Amino acid sequence: MKKRSWAEPWKIKMVEPLRMTSRAERERALAEAGYNTFLLRSEDVYIDLLTDSGTSAMSDRQWSALMLGDESYAGSRNYYDLEQAMSDVYGFAEFIPTHQGRGAEFLLSQLMIKPGQFVPGNMYFTTTRYHQELAGGQFVDVIIDEAHNPTSTFPFKGNVCLKKLQHLIDEQGTDKIAYLSLETNVNMAGGQPCSMENIKATCELCHQHDIPVFLDATRCVENAWFIKQREAGWNDRSVVEIVRDICNLTDGCTMSGKKDSLVNTGGFLAVNDIKLAEEARNLLVCHEGLHTYGGMAGRDMAAMAVGMHESIEEDHIRSRVGQVQYLGEKLMDAGIPIVQPIGGHGVYLDAAAFLDHLPRDEFPAQTLAAALYLDCGLRTMERGAVSAGRDAEGHNIFPKLELVRLTIPRRVYTQAHMDVTAESVLAVWEHRRAVTGLRMTYEPVRLRFFQAFFSPLVGCTVLPVDTSPEVVAN
């Protein structure tokens, strides 16, 4: 049968106008933002690929649900609907709503980690590791080596290395291990999935040693899609069945609803152990809110319950991941160094290879994100040394992966936006040798990437060539 083009399973009902800026305006905005894309005003951004977190376009069904928000302080109807949706999709026994993912990470870390314990995980995530350390724990990376190699095309680069995990257990003993933190579709590795085979083997090994496994289910639906596409024997199973199969192997999860669940805010902790749930609810009321809203408004919970069900519709997830693949393939075809295979929620530029004339202490990824903004107002995010922060001795951590993430919000941008994005990356690629580095001039103590300031090492810009596009009608 002849292959046909496909399009998104939705049409656009409302638009949000975007402002086009001049190169002079962008230079000014970037300097005011200390060369940190987190500090730009969104009105100075044309295409915003900073994050897929909280940036989804909601459906008309979600907007309608919003109007049915029950804003009672206690026992909101929307809480029970969301609890039911979580049970339908993820299947855990106990549901604790939080304002967003890091609220759940705080609760889990405080309750499960004793000071001095280790928390193995398949690569760090910034807020997750922060909360583990705040509770006195120490993160240990047990992801497979392929995950640290941007050019490896291994299809499940999110997998846990069982040897590394066994080594930690043998060396430290089970009492020193709080739990295993298992992230699906590993963000810092480039949106790379874990295989079902590896999840099963990892959970078996942990449970043999009475080590609980907590899932970071933030992008579990995207991971399930990759299992369905890439892992032998899973193609006939639905995405929601695969999500349930993953969750059934674990003891609970933290979740940022701002990603897979297609809402602008919200999250939860879900566990099977009733006693742990009770302790979490006790802590929740001190930090987030009552256990029937946990920091969310009733209308937020209503929209999330609908979004959770929409997230597992196969046409949705095919088109969501398909759009990311479209952009990734365009960049790969043009010879741009990106993390392979193309991830589920974004395309990650290998900034160390892209700007291979810059030393790591001139922050190539931060610099590349700044240069991309200057070209046409494209906003991206550094995911390299600045995000990694400092080690216990205060030295800068230089992770193997020095990346710039082009993160695709769900249901927001069109194929033409993807084309413009690819052209922008290509324009900077063509002038990459002219790009000069940055130094950090202000460094916050915690999660420094959000608010750090930088300044150019040479002259007053990182991209001395004006690559601004001349816009033509097609």
Q: Binding residue for ligand PLI (CB under 6 A) from 128, 159, 223, 323?
A: 128
Q: Which of residues 101-120 bind ligand PLI (CB under 6 A)?
A: 101-102
Structure tokens belonging to residue 116 = 């001095």
Does 126 participate in catalysis according to the annotation? yes
Does 13 participate in catalysis according to the annotation? no
Active-site position among 102, 383, 405, 411: 383
Distance CA 33, CA 386 (A): 16
**76 vs 187, beta carbon nearer ligand PLI:** 187
**21 vs 218, beta carbon nearer ligand PLI:** 218
Is residue 56 at the binding interface for ligand PLI, with CB under 6 A as the rule? no
Is residue 218 at the binding interface for ligand PLI, with CB under 6 A as the rule? yes
Does 383 participate in catalysis according to the annotation? yes
**252 vs 267, beta carbon nearer ligand PLI:** 267
Q: Binding residue for ligand PLI (CB under 6 A) from 53, 132, 198, 467?
A: 53
Question: What is the identity of the amino acid at 461?
Answer: T
Is residue 158 at the binding interface for ligand PLI, with CB under 6 A as the rule? no
Active-site position among 411, 449, 454, 467: 449
Does 446 participate in catalysis according to the annotation? no
Q: Which stretch binds ligand PLI (CB under 6 A): 3-11, 73-81, 98-106, 222-230?
A: 98-106
Is residue 267 at the binding interface for ligand PLI, with CB under 6 A as the rule? yes
Q: Binding residue for ligand PLI (CB under 6 A) from 51, 62, 109, 122?
A: 51
Q: How far is the CB of 130 from ligand PLI (least distance, A)?
A: 10
Active-site position among 60, 73, 114, 200: 73
Question: What is the identity of the amino acid at 334?
Answer: A
Q: How far is the CB of 196 from ligand PLI (least distance, A)?
A: 19
Distance CA 209, CA 17 (A): 55
Is residue 183 at the binding interface for ligand PLI, with CB under 6 A as the rule? yes
Q: How far is the CB of 256 from ligand PLI (least distance, A)?
A: 3
Is residue 216 at the binding interface for ligand PLI, with CB under 6 A as the rule? yes
Q: Binding residue for ligand PLI (CB under 6 A) from 72, 87, 110, 127?
A: 127
Residues binding ligand PLI (CB under 6 A): 51, 53, 100-102, 125, 127-128, 183, 187, 216, 218, 256, 258, 267
